[in-house]
Amino acid sequence: MDKPCAAAAARNAAPILGVLRHELRECSTLFEIGSGTGQHAVTVAAALPDLEWQTSDLEQSHAGIRAWIEDAGLENVLAPMDFDVLTVEPSGKKYDAVFSANTAHIMSYVAVCRMFALVGAMLREPGVFCLYGPFSRGGAFSSPSNEAFDASLRARNEAMGIRDLDDLGVLAGENGMQIARVYSMPANNLLAVWTRTPPNCRR
């Protein structure tokens, strides 16, 4: 199969790698939700060979992800798991990190809530959740282009839409995570980092 190529994923791969290289410096295992084409997986995993990267997505994306993995020839990227946040049950396996890019505005809000619950269940303590994409903050869009993007998403499907980091912060808190850092990224995107820490480290 020809490798699917998302132009946005190619553009944002280097900035995302720049942040993940720092945030994942103490991580050995990572689970990615909604790997899409698989471009982020192979780009980051190639630069971080000691990190085992588990890809996942809905079944329809698996062939493309497999094509990227096979072409990259990386031993530290694992074949995609069938993982629909709406239906999957936590397996009990724990990861040092979870990463997801450009998923929260595509998923319904119910699915986003479920994603945070799953992340809380999957993360080790300490563990880190890195979520990349367009977000509003305090109810305000970061740019007119993000406001227009939100309107276009909602016109396409009323369940989609740019999420507010304050709302996601509440979901994170309900699932044992605290906000640690928010990075400004190119094209008015953000990369939010929540951590799950052992109880005796919480303030």
Q: Which stretch binds ligand SAM (CB under 6 A): 27-35, 68-76, 153-161, 165-173?
A: 27-35
As given in the structure block, the two tokens for residue 120 are 């809380």
185 touching ligand SAM, by CB under 6 A: no
Annotate each residue in 77-116 with x if it binds ligand SAM (CB under 6 A) or - if it does not, as one string.
------xxxx--------------xxx--xx---x-----
**Total Cβ atoms within 10 A of residue 123:** 23
The Cα–Cα gap between 199 and 163 comes to: 28
CB of 29 to ligand SAM, least distance (A): 18
The Cα-based distances of 95 to 4, 46, 187, 196 in angstroms read 27, 19, 30, 11
Classify residue 87 by burial, with Cβ atoms within 10 Å: 0-12, 13-18, 19+.
exposed
- Of 29-37, 118-126, 179-187, 188-196, the window that binds ligand SAM (rule: CB under 6 A) is 29-37
- For residue 58, state whether it binds ligand SAM (rule: CB under 6 A): yes
Query: Which residues of the shown chain bind ligand SAM in the complex (CB under 6 A)?
Result: 6, 9, 33-37, 40, 57-58, 61, 83-86, 101-103, 106-107, 111
